Amino acid sequence: MSDVLMVIQTILSTVHWLPVIGVTLLSFLIAAIWYLPFLFGRVRSREINPDGAGRRINKPIVFGLSVILLLVAFTNLSLVVSGTGPFSGLLTSLQISIVWITTAIATTYLFAGRSWRLIAIDSGLYVVLFSLGGLVLGAY
């Protein structure tokens, strides 16, 4: 078990934390803007909840966990693209976001009976976030 912890510690010591944290916070800001009513928020709300009934969420938990999950995702993206250069980081993260993230979201949403419009809105956000993340993190 201690060997596994040493490997994890070695891997995490190679992460460039400042850009990872910066990209994580910037992504959270972009997502907040992405879902504003004048962009995709109104359409997304109608797609998720066509009858207009309000849905309550625990915002501190949702926002807190979202930041943590984005931090985990960008930490791992950093491990993949760090030092490859901005253009290579962009291409790699674009491939990751389209091939893995978009297909995973689409598969889940199709089984949940969600629309193609909702798939495009939500997966489009991750294509933008990961492309930006790869561009920045590839430079470090």
How does pLDDT run along the chain (140 residues), one tens digit per residue?
Answer: 688 888 888 888 889 999 999 999 999 999 999 999 999 999 998 998 877 776 788 989 999 999 999 999 999 999 999 999 999 999 999 999 999 999 999 999 999 999 999 999 999 999 999 999 999 999 99
**Would you tell me the crossing angle of helices 59-81 and 116-138 to the nearest 10 degrees?**
50
Alpha-carbon gap, residue 58 to 129, rounded angstroms: 24
* CA dihedral for 52, 57, 60, 62, sign (positive or negative): negative
| pLDDT value, residue 3 | 84
| pLDDT value, residue 108 | 97
Cβ-proximal residues to 87 (8 Å cutoff; 6+ apart), any chain:
135, 138
Cβ-proximal residues to 140 (8 Å cutoff; 6+ apart), any chain:
16, 19, 78, 82, 83
With contact defined as beta carbons under 8 Å apart, do 39 and 121 qualify? no
This prediction's pTM: 0.89
Here the tokens at position 10 are 């070695």
**Is residue 70 within a helix (H) or strand (E), and if so which, with residue range?**
helix 59-81
Long-range contacts of range 56-63, CB-CB < 8 Å, 24 or more positions apart?
Answer: 63/28
| pLDDT value, residue 8 | 83
What is the total residue count of the chain?
Answer: 140
With contact defined as beta carbons under 8 Å apart, do 105 and 53 qualify? no
